[in-house]
Structure 1
Amino acid sequence: MKKLLNYKLMLVLIGLTFFVSCQHETEEALEDAATNIERVDVKWLAPDDHPVVQLLYSRGYKKGTIYETEEYFLAPPDLFYSKDIKDYDLTDTGADPKQAYNTGALVSLDRMRINVFLDASIGTDLQTQSVNAMNELNGINNCALFFVRVFNANQAQITIRSDFGVEGTNVLGRAGFPSNGRPFNLVTLNVDRIDDFGADIRRNVIIHELGHCVGLRHTNWQANGESGAVNIPGTSAFDSGSIMWSTANGGTPFTNGDLTAFRALFPRALRRDVVNVIDEYDYSGEIYVVDEVFVDVFTDGSYTTSATLNRNVQVNYKKRVQEYNHTSGTYTYYRNRLLSAGSSRYYLDEEEEQCSPYQGETCTYEDVDITYAFSIL
């Protein structure tokens, strides 16, 4: 999403606010990236008849304000949107991660460790400010988000790179919203413009864009012509000092409302744990295995300190049943479980494996996958 520029520059969190943060320093030291990438991007006005553009118009954007590049649609003030209309459909009946493209889409609580790759195209100063931004976010206590710099692009959930000349002077950065419980995978920075501002503004712009990647909205979304958003109790739509305001500001990045939002949306990190409870084999070829699936609670995505769940959390998951040999087929069941605050470990479901030499040597496997886990405000 784009970051608009204002000489007061204030970044704020969505009036309905969504945030990212955490309480640990980035784990790897700053290093220069390998080689500079030469690339030039261009944008053009998006066609009104494209189904995604029509959807964006129906969500409140004005006609003539949507542009596109080879990869994405660009919406004011600083948002990326997928060009594939299928990305906006709710296909999983038991999970919400694809819910409205700009309302309520968050990173799942079992994906709180987020690897970030800093492309050489942003230069060493913006690499430094990106690390500072991650440290600020990791420094928010009682927040599960945990950003880690990685030096291999293939390991990253988010890449921060140059916009390669596509943005005008009024846009400092751009990012998008999560989908399928995963963070948006790209932040672009207007390297030709952002260097005109102080170090704290450069850092805050990056924090703002990372906030979008995990699901935070603009506080002043209505004035920007964006569609509705979900309010977080204890936050205000008029918090003009928030990190998610659509214009940037220097100084201390977070208001009290920002901290409230981060802690409410990302209270704890969850991690799946599988425990074997039955393991039976015999010489005839019979196999029967039962595993119990649990989720353990941690303070954040570093997964180093266990904790008690401090808010109710809903876990949506799917159970896939696969049958092989003469009855081969796959079936999926969508389920959910409410984890009530107060414990550090929760039973989710069981997985099963059966193979028999009888009845055509049929084998059945069951797998449990978490699709989305979110705080109940």
Structure 2
Amino acid sequence: MRKNTIAALLLGATFAFIVYACKKDGAPQQKDTEPVPQDVIAKIKALGFSSSGVRAAEGGWLVEGDILLTAENLSEASTSANLRIAETEQYRTNNLVKSLPRQITVKVMDLGPAFVSGADLAIARYNAQNLQLTFRRITSGKADITIKGFYQGPSGGFITLGSAGFPTRNGSPYSTISMNTHEQAYGANPNVDYVGSVIQHEMGHCIGFRHTDYMNRAFSCGASGAGNEGASNVGAVHIPGTPTGPDAASWMLACSNGGNRTFNANDIVALNYLY
């Protein structure tokens, strides 16, 4: 996710009134100075994503301000016949987590107590839904999803807050959630409910959810975040039973209100349909 630092200054600084845009690195720190090869730009355009502002990141390329495309994504052909660019609804990627019922382990690596408590909060919220997909935090060994930090200040009026990617073709969840430890990201004393809401959102991407407003990020991000993220080869498959009108409280909106946000009724429909 990212925070509009210019807005923060103008509004005198309380989190409750700052708009944040969700930014998915999928892997740790972005490498802003690394040039983007023209063949990568061509592939991104061919997939239907905007090539404006593409940045190199560990594990792939950041597009649309918040989506990590890996080398596999750039070369993988879509297999879904149910892609659509449509209204504001719940959408998933082509790839989902397989081998259900399944427990996914989560480990928080070298982050402070607010991030540990935030991860526990996000895990509890998912497990309360009694899905075939459950989560458990571990403290040692290899986890299915590792939450780790990166340190990056503001750039272009925004600061990255968190990042994640999409499931693999073999049905595994995306393996990394990155959280920014810069003091301008969450402040000196991060709010656990807010950190947990960001982690909850990133976990949604790890198991195959796209943004509710992927077709027009301006719905939750304002004019500065306008744009269609594209169905592309990662897929934008409508989840039956979810609304065709704006759903302002969804946990998978591209931008949050900077506060505590969890599943609304339509999110629960979507979770139960998939898992």
TM-score normalised to structure 2 length: 0.71
Which region of structure 1 is more displaced relative to structure 2, 213-222 or 159-168? 159-168
Work out whether residues 93 and 166 of structure 2, in 8 Å CA contact, stay in contact via their aligned partners in 1.
no
Aligned residues: 226
Amino acid at match of 1:74: L
Match of 2:67 in 1: 79
Is 1:191 the counterpart of 2:194 in the alignment? Answer: no
* Divergent runs of 4+, >4 A: 8-12, 84-87
Match of 2:103 among 113, 118, 125: 113
Match of 1:68 among 53, 56, 63: 56
Structure ID, larger Rg: 1
Q: Which has the higher contact order (CA 8 A, sep 6+)?
A: 2
TM-score normalised to structure 1 length: 0.53
Is 1:231 the counterpart of 2:206 in the alignment? Answer: no
CA RMSD of aligned residues (A): 3.0
1:241 Cα shift?
Answer: 0.9
1:199 Cα shift?
Answer: 2.9
For the structure 1 residues 8 and 258, does the alpha-carbon distance in structure 2 shift closer, same or farther, using more than 3 Å as the test? farther
Where does 1:168-183 land on structure 2 (aligned, <5 Å)?
A: 168=155, 169-179=158-168, 180-183=170-173
Match of 1:206 among 194, 199, 207: 199
Unaligned runs of 5+ in 2: 5-16, 23-27, 84-91, 218-227
Partner Cα distance (2:213, 2:195) in 1: 20
For the structure 1 residues 166 and 57, does the alpha-carbon distance in structure 2 shift closer, same or farther, using more than 3 Å as the test? farther
Unaligned runs of 5+ in 1: 13-38, 267-377
Q: Deviations over 1:152-209 (max 9, x none)?
A: 2x42111111123277444311100001211011111122244236432211111000
SS state of the match for residue 251, structure 1?
Answer: coil
Match of 1:127 among 94, 100, 116: 116
1:137 Cα shift?
Answer: 1.1
Q: Deviations over 1:325-348 (max 9, x none)?
A: xxxxxxxxxxxxxxxxxxxxxxxx
Higher helix proportion: 2
Partner Cα distance (2:132, 2:273) in 1: 10
Where does 1:261-276 land on structure 2 (aligned, <5 Å)?
A: 261-266=270-275
Q: Deviations over 1:88-117 (max 9, x none)?
A: 257xxxx98xx9xx7322111436211111
Amino acid at match of 2:64: P
1:234 Cα shift?
Answer: 1.9
Partner Cα distance (1:257, 1:125) in 2: 28
Partner Cα distance (2:264, 2:144) in 1: 27
1:87 Cα shift?
Answer: 5.8
Amino acid at match of 1:49: Q
1:220 Cα shift?
Answer: 1.0
Partner Cα distance (1:188, 1:58) in 2: 28
Work out whether residues 152 and 159 of structure 2, in 8 Å CA contact, stay in contact via their aligned partners in 1.
no
Give percent identity, aligned residues only: 26
Q: Deviations over 1:239-293 (max 9, x none)?
A: 1210000112423511111000000000xxxxxxxxxxxxxxxxxxxxxxxxxxx
